[in-house]
Structure 1
């Protein structure tokens, strides 16, 4: 069967930076009740000047997600005392990775569709700038005529319940260390290991041998 010209399946995720991951988690997970469904601990990714970061996702229904980047060691940009989206504005001198973190990701079904959009973009004035496999997805990236980054992405495999649990632990650890002094990836991983030990007894399957 011939596939339709329109191959996208809606928004995979919209992504933004955050300087306050604990408050972000309280707002989306605890107030709005959007569950944490995935997280990526990115240690040593990118060029030498790129900090370690956490990329975490909330399920907002309909197969869509909203995601945030928290960069270890990056001080707030802009005036955090102002109301509204002052942290989301892009003042002069914002690092390139911070600018790129704000993007729209559009979902497609499979590799064939992803490559079809790559062909369309490469034949246009806005060719693909990157094609990356990261953990559970493969994505292509470009910038639209307004300078906004657009990602088109396909799932490499389903996300497992174990990975959902890992995301919950990662975000709980992130909230703990981000409220302390000099948060870092090492402190997050140490705190996450502590949480695993603390919660291990709750994960013993019913009826399992003790």
Structure 2
């Protein structure tokens, strides 16, 4: 278990490169309504032969920002189409699910807000591609002008303390099995069951202690 104090305060910004700053601004500012809140004109920064660039930021709510780099004179890596996750071109056998696992999810308060973003996207050049209800959230997905997958999501219900406990059990089990000879889902679930048995006595003791404190 990690006993370090939690002193971080969320995301300052997530940053991506873009070959299409005009499309990027249309998508995030003019369609989604995220204002531009900061920009950096970087001339002569970085090591030798590093191009000049603009680093610009959108406010995506809650003090968090989404940023992009546009490098002057840098040509797209391939002809035509968006360049998102273009590093994958170095391996022709990279599966699509692996590429799509890299995405940005933005949280909204409820169904009305989610459907408002769906309305904006469906009326734009970047309509919603999927709408899915997951275990505890509902999400819409599209790709931005750069080819990056963007998810907008709302909570269907609160996550319970029991689910937090389950998440920590799952991760502890994962860390145990990935160092073994054959990591698999079956091995993870078996190890997780072992951890539940190993820790049950400690949980029972904590529950009894807590009940005694409340009773006093």
TM-score range normalised by the length of the shorter chain: 0.5 to 0.7
Cα distance in 2 for partners of 1:173, 1:192 equals: 5
1:104 partner SS: strand
> Which structure dedicates a bigger proportion of its chain to helix?
2
Equivalent residues of 1:136, 1:158 under 8 A apart: yes
Please give the residue correspondences for 1:97-108 in structure 2 after superposition, counting only pairs within 5 Å: 97-108=97-108
| 1:170 lines up with 2:118 in the alignment | no
| 1:150 lines up with 2:150 in the alignment | yes
For structure 2, the residue ranges without an aligned partner over 5 or more in a row are 15-85
Structure of greater relative contact order (alpha carbons < 8 Å, 6+ residues apart) = 1
Deviating 4+ runs (over 3 angstroms): 59-64
1:61 partner SS: coil
How many residues align structurally? 135
1:206 partner SS: helix
TM-score normalised by structure 2 residue count? 0.56
Equivalent residues of 1:141, 1:149 under 8 A apart: yes
1:120 partner SS: helix
Equivalent residues of 1:34, 1:60 under 8 A apart: no
Cα distance in 2 for partners of 1:96, 1:141 equals: 15
* Residue 140 (structure 2) aligns with: 140
Please give the residue correspondences for 1:48-197 in structure 2 after superposition, counting only pairs within 5 Å: 61-62=9-10, 89-90=87-88, 91-92=90-91, 93-197=93-197
- What displacement does 1:60 show? 5.5
Cα distance in 1 for partners of 2:145, 2:101 equals: 17
Equivalent residues of 1:140, 1:151 under 8 A apart: yes
Equivalent residues of 1:131, 1:140 under 8 A apart: yes
Deviation sequence 1:80-106 (CA, Å, 0-9, x none): xxxxxxxx9423321100000000100
Cα distance in 2 for partners of 1:185, 1:149 equals: 26
Judged with a 3 Å threshold, the aligned counterparts in structure 2 of structure 1 residues 95 and 153 are, in CA distance, closer, same or farther, namely same
> Which structure dedicates a bigger proportion of its chain to strand?
1
- What displacement does 1:141 show? 0.5
TM-score normalised by structure 1 residue count? 0.58
Query: Larger C-alpha radius of gyration, 1 or 2?
Result: 2
For structure 1, the residue ranges without an aligned partner over 5 or more in a row are 1-28, 36-58, 67-87
Judged with a 3 Å threshold, the aligned counterparts in structure 2 of structure 1 residues 34 and 179 are, in CA distance, closer, same or farther, namely farther
Equivalent residues of 1:136, 1:156 under 8 A apart: yes
